[in-house]
Amino acid sequence: MNDRQTKPKTFALTTPLYYVNDLPHIGSAYTTMAADVVARFERLRGKSVLLITGTDEHGQKIQRTAESLGLDPQKHCDLVSSGFDSLWQKLNIQYDRFIRTTSERHHPIVKEFWQRVWEKGDIYQGQQTGWYCVACEEFKEERDLLPGNKCSLHPNREVEWRDEQNYFFRLSKYQSQLETLYQERSDFIQPVSRRNEVLNFVRQGLQDFSISRVNMDWGFPVPNDPHHTIYVWFDALLGYVTALLDPDSQPTLEKALSQWWPIDLHLIGKDILRFHAVYWPAMLMSAELPLPKHIFGHGFLTKDGQKIGKTLGNTIDPVDLVNRYGSEAIRYYFLKEIEFGQDGDFNETRFVNIVNADLANDLGNLLNRTLPMTKRYCQGIVPNCLSADIPDTHPLKAIGLTLSDRVAEKYESLAFSQACAAIFTLIRASNKLIDEQAPWALYKQGQQQAGDRVLYAVLESVRQAAYLLSPIIPDLSTEIYQQLGFLNNFNDKNQIYEAAPFEVHSTWGVLPANQRLGDSKPVFVRLELP
RNA sequence: CAAAAGUUAGCUCAUUUGGUAGAGCGAUCGACUCAUAAUCGAUUAGUAGUAGGUUCGAUUCCUGCACUUUUGACCA
């Protein structure tokens, strides 16, 4: 504790700032749930945590989408942005900052950063020439065009020859610095497969990229040249910086970077890896600012083994999903059943089966079969039993003694699935112990102490499991804790560490003997198959 | 076309440095009754994509082929 006061441990992490071109999809929900789990885990072990999420709202695509809907761009952004926010509420995401790139505090930060890079000599005016597809809003390589100068994605539209002045960022200048970075900090980009992608890309040689657009005004003007608008990515990445500002502090780089910088972890989908692993560090090098510690690019989701896409019409609506099944089931499935980092599949039948098997049958029922016996044979209080009286070789205690360290290691490496697997070995062993020891028979035979030991060991194991699972299923863990007679609420982010510190509650044997138990009822109701 | 990753029980995945493969889910049978038809046990199944090579021995190393996925510069 003293150590904590003299040297406060902080942890800042981000989700992407989601583009408000459309309503949130399941992929955004997936990233955000994972980020929330990391944030909750770090808070649980006593760190000061800043979880940043938000929305990216500039760019021509937004402007055009708004127009097509007959809306003012800002109005459109407000609507979609609040859609993200309300989904995060439904999914029980405890973010600390929600940054919108259209917020007025963001502009001075972007301006100042631009200025800094400009003074470094890393921004220059150049000519962007090439075939431009208006529908894509992209310059196209000649080799990608269909016969007749048609865009391959929009075969009914001819591309246009553009020759425009743009501002460029000297990315090429940072090639060797970036390569050194990847070399010296091999865990900067995770997982390894993502790192290799980046290494390959960078090895091929980096070209400068344009960071401004003309004929577009939904964005920030380039300082001293208002005909140009700052390119949306340059603006968006800096949202991570603006988000660090305290609500009442001045929007300056110095203020923003004074407290939480550098970011410990950028959690992203693999589609935006390059922006975070190449452009972003180069921009920061140019501005002479410290770099984030880790970038983790997770995989994509498929549905029933098929790529998800609007054209296929097989999208998963996260709002619909959470309305039908609740946040706990969804959080659990995506974190437990999908190897974080790899691509993963969502199949509704499988989802229901897994969640029922683990949360209702194994975990929920374990508590629900034990509490009634405790009521009947122990007057509704935790059996009068000391952990010290239970040998370390006891089948549950033996697992529980090393579980905390193993699980913490898994959470730290973002191996959520493996964390769950480790915890569930304890839960399954508990169900097994009850069957083998048959405490109801022990009590009927008058063997009170033997029965008490069984029930204590099981209740304590459920408690430990609930505690360690709380970053993933906080509502369920809270319900379990309360049925065990605790008052803790795992959603109370400012007090959970003080009330139930990790060093104590993550270990086995802390359930107080004679504690009065709460009311018992199933903590997780089985889901119906679709 | 090029590069990278992958192809292990019906499904989702594990198998630190090569010694004939494991878990969860599902299925079948049995046991028990404290419990949310829950739990426990047993069974089930894999010539580890394919064809070769190195080796006493390869899922694990090398090569060819097939299939899947990703990347190949500004698509959040």
In a domain, A528, yes or no: no
The closest alpha carbon to A215, from A40, A400, A59, belongs to A59
- The total number of structural domains in chain A stands at 3
Contacts 24+ apart (CB under 8 A), A410-417: A411/A37, A411/A38, A411/A41, A411/A471, A414/A34, A414/A38, A414/A190, A414/A296, A414/A340, A414/A341, A415/A340, A416/A34, A416/A37, A416/A335, A416/A336, A416/A340, A416/A472, A417/A335, A417/A336, A417/A337, A417/A338, A417/A339, A417/A340
Estimate in Å the CA A153 to C1' B66 gap, whole number. 29
| Residues A273, A351 share a domain | no
Q: Nearest nucleotide by C1' from A432 CA? A: B40
Q: What is the ipTM of this complex?
A: 0.89
| Residues A279, A197 share a domain | no
| Residues A376, A296 share a domain | no
Estimate in Å the CA A471 to C1' B75 gap, whole number. 34
User: H/E element holding A162?
Assistant: strand A160-169
Estimate in Å the CA A265 to C1' B42 gap, whole number. 47
Count the neighbouring beta carbons within 10 Å of the beta carbon of residue A388.
7
Domain boundary among A175, A210, A245: A210
In a domain, A69, yes or no: yes
| Residues A475, A355 share a domain | yes
Dihedral angle computed from the Cα positions of residues A496, A497, A499 and A503, in that order, rounded to the nearest 10 degrees: 140
| Residues A369, A239 share a domain | no
| Residues A483, A466 share a domain | yes
Q: Nearest nucleotide by C1' from A272 CA? A: B76
Estimate in Å the CA A413 to C1' B61 gap, whole number. 29
Closest residue (CA) to C1' of nucleotide B35 is: A369
CATH number of the domain within which A480 lies: 1.10.730.10
Estimate in Å the CA A289 to C1' B62 gap, whole number. 46
CATH number of the domain within which A23 lies: 3.40.50.620
Q: Nearest nucleotide by C1' from A137 CA? A: B75
User: H/E element holding A50?
Assistant: strand A48-56
| Residues A471, A450 share a domain | yes
From first to last of its 530 residues, what are the pLDDT tens digits of chain A? 334 444 459 999 999 999 998 889 888 999 999 999 999 999 999 999 999 999 999 988 888 889 889 999 999 999 999 999 999 999 999 999 999 999 999 999 999 999 999 999 999 988 777 776 655 556 666 555 555 666 555 555 566 777 778 899 999 999 989 988 988 888 898 888 888 888 888 887 888 888 988 878 889 999 989 889 998 888 999 999 999 999 889 999 999 999 999 999 999 988 888 899 999 999 999 999 999 999 998 888 888 877 777 666 778 889 999 999 999 999 999 999 888 888 888 888 889 999 999 999 999 999 999 999 999 999 999 999 999 999 999 999 999 999 999 999 999 989 899 899 999 999 999 999 999 999 999 999 999 999 999 999 999 999 999 999 999 999 999 999 999 999 999 999 999 999 999 999 999 999 999 999 999 999 999 999 87
Q: Nearest nucleotide by C1' from A231 CA? A: B74
| Residues A488, A404 share a domain | yes
**Domain range for A414:** 347-505
Closest residue (CA) to C1' of nucleotide B26 is: A353
Domain boundary among A270, A298, A318: A318
Q: Nearest nucleotide by C1' from A368 CA? A: B35
Estimate in Å the CA A353 to C1' B27 gap, whole number. 14
In a domain, A75, yes or no: yes
| Residues A352, A306 share a domain | no
Estimate in Å the CA A4 to C1' B74 gap, whole number. 44
In a domain, A510, yes or no: no
- Chain B positions within 7 A of any protein Cβ atom are 3-5, 11-14, 23-26, 31-36, 38-41, 69-76
Domain boundary among A146, A180, A210: A210
| Residues A418, A287 share a domain | no
Q: Nearest nucleotide by C1' from A354 CA? A: B25
Q: Nearest nucleotide by C1' from A278 CA? A: B73
Estimate in Å the CA A366 to C1' B4 gap, whole number. 46
CATH number of the domain within which A167 lies: 2.170.220.10
| Residues A108, A138 share a domain | no
| Residues A357, A268 share a domain | no
